[in-house]
Structure 1
Amino acid sequence: MYQRQSQQKLIQLLQQFPAVGLLGPRQVGKTTLAFAQKALYPDALYLDLELPSAQRQLDDTEAFLMAHAQQLVILDEVQRMPELFGVLRGVIDQRRRMGQASGQFLLLGSATGVLLQQSSESLAGRVAYVELPPLQATEIFTGTHSVADLNALWVRGGFPLSWLAKTDADSMTWREVFIATYLEKDIPALGPRIPATTLRRLWTMLAHHQGELLDQSKLAAALAISGQTVSRYIDLLCDLMLVRRLPAWHGNVGKRLIRAPKVYVRDSGLVHALLGLSSLDAVLGHPVAGLSWEGFVVEQLINAASQAEASFYRTSNGAEVDLVLTFRNQETWTIEIKRSSAPSVSRGFYQAATDLGPARKLLVAPVAQTYPMKEGIEVVDVMTAIRWVTEQNQSNS
């Protein structure tokens, strides 16, 4: 098992809060990480709420949970039983009075919107959250690695079974099945009545337009549905942690700012599967290659900067930067991402840097070593950028 970056935070929060929510898409490793916690709590109880047998044990939820009052109770796919949240508050308070102030419940879920809404209403002040993304480069490559290794992660994405597949073809097959299962089983189980073919077409269109500004009217026209419906479908994909809306930077710089968000399919392997690209050669030969690489790096850096506010910057006169990270001390970093081994930045990046006054200006590219450019720009490889961002994030925690 890979050492997940979220594990230490999960351990700390279980020692501090009565309930912790571990959020992430399906097949990302939540259950594996939960069982690692179970080893630290030998008498912990695990229930998979997708199983009818587990649901039957909770027919009298309060009585069952109080019968295990001194144990950590792990509830997997907790969004399947939303009625639980109304009971958990009272049980948590009863167990507190019995002396168990923390480490009562570990709630695993793959739909953030459902969980956050339900728990914020019922468990305010009693629950903390940890997001588990697909495997990150720093979790896989803990020592030396080659350019080919990083390219393989980019092509396959970070879902463990996709990354660990024996061949690219096996990896592609896993991702195709994953996508089909989400569309045909998982999403309908959450309640939305959405035609699977329509949602797949939208998801594929988002992959084609990876990292571009969201144009709901264009998507709606192509799918023959309303803009409101497109917005609702994208909301759902974001709730499932499959798509990211990256907001535009907001602030007062006396410029006319672009306000529409950029949209990314969060896992690069899913981008390539949706577009039928099963190998590095196929990806590099496709027009989406540059923006797919950008999305891959954006996800790596945002996950490394868990305490920072992430956005992008673009004005109507052409000033732009791919990623802006604003850390808790209000220090701002501007980050441009290029696929080229001999990268350069546009005039728009210099304009954006003048507008924002960042503490650091990074140009992230597949280069062999770090080197400076004019006006304080630092050209860095992906792993170095992740390390620098992680260090800055930790110093502001």
Structure 2
Amino acid sequence: MSETETLRALVIGGGPAGLMAAGTLAEAGFAPVVAERMPSVGRKLLMAGKSGLNLTKEEPAPAFRAAYGGAAAELATALDGFGPAAVMSWAEGLGQPLFTGSTGRVFPEAMKASPLLRAWLARLREGGTELRTRWRWTGWDGPVALFETPDGTRRVAAEAIVLALGGASWARLGSDGRWSAAFPADRLAPFRPSNAGIRVEWSAHMQPHFGTPLKGVAFHAGDRVSRGEAVISATGLEGGGVYPLTPALREGAPLTIDLFPDLGTETLRQRLARRRRGDSLANHLRRAVNLSSMARALVMECGRPLPEDLAPLLKALPVPVAGLAPLDRAISTAGGLRFDALEPDLMLRDRPGVFAAGEMLDWEAPTGGYLLTACLATGRQAGLAAARHLEGRPG
């Protein structure tokens, strides 16, 4: 058996939540060791940077909090301490100029993650943080954290530990959910896909439209409505327009598409009534309501047999959902470590001195800056609580 290394502060996980916890501990004078199972840290952050790195969203606090649904209350302390304004200030402090888009989404002017990550890691190293890669956490031996490393099994005891092990999507980037085996089942909510694509078993006549974006529509599922773009793919629908509907679709709510969200049913009916003699239905839909060829194909795919009154169908076109994209292909996951297994400061109730943060906690949010903000905010909250623990102060 290897000897046990003793540390003051240890962070397990090198994603945004773990790196934020490490920086917070270092600022408090407790520069930690960060153990990451992948060959490098921040891999999911770099993947997010491929679409511009949406850091956060500028909008009124009530609307921002509402994006977290049933977990809004549990995340309130973290978001109070590190909300959108703080995220923006932090990124600018790392030398990253930002801009806010028309929808309130905030991006680095560089439109990628690598400059921010380089500056962030440089700051962490300057503050004394040590990064150890290819260190996979495998669980506990009493209070000792166990790791599989290139040099064999390692044992580490630390006075304060922050767990930031991610969810269960995109395993190739580091989040495989295998950490859940180290926790009792009653401390966990099952992992489920969130912000996931929708599986649809298209007929062959839809193939010419694969890769085509569906714009200017509204997607409905249960009590959720989403205005945004989605792409018709070989497997179904992908994109920001459908991702927010994942919670409702998981519960079996049907999916409909309003192809004319800015027109009322009666107005649409009146326009459709003016059909030229001899016009095919396809030409009529194109002339009367400017319906694109791709949208017409979608109507023929999902709306048959076509009713005589087409207006209600175009306002609520049913889509035969075959399921959600697999868990590992989802942008994020719901489920994980339950909040009732934690103290309000994110310390595990049954492991004093061990804190948890980020996507390994049981919350979900849509894309649009909410995911990254909550990861950073809970990482900071856990780091602050770990520092208080080291200082002997109550939470």
TM-score, length-normalised on structure 2? 0.23
Question: 1 or 2, which has the higher strand percentage?
Answer: 2
Larger Rg: 2
**Highest relative contact order (Cα 8 Å, sep 6+), 1 or 2?**
2
Question: 1 or 2, which has the higher helix percentage?
Answer: 1
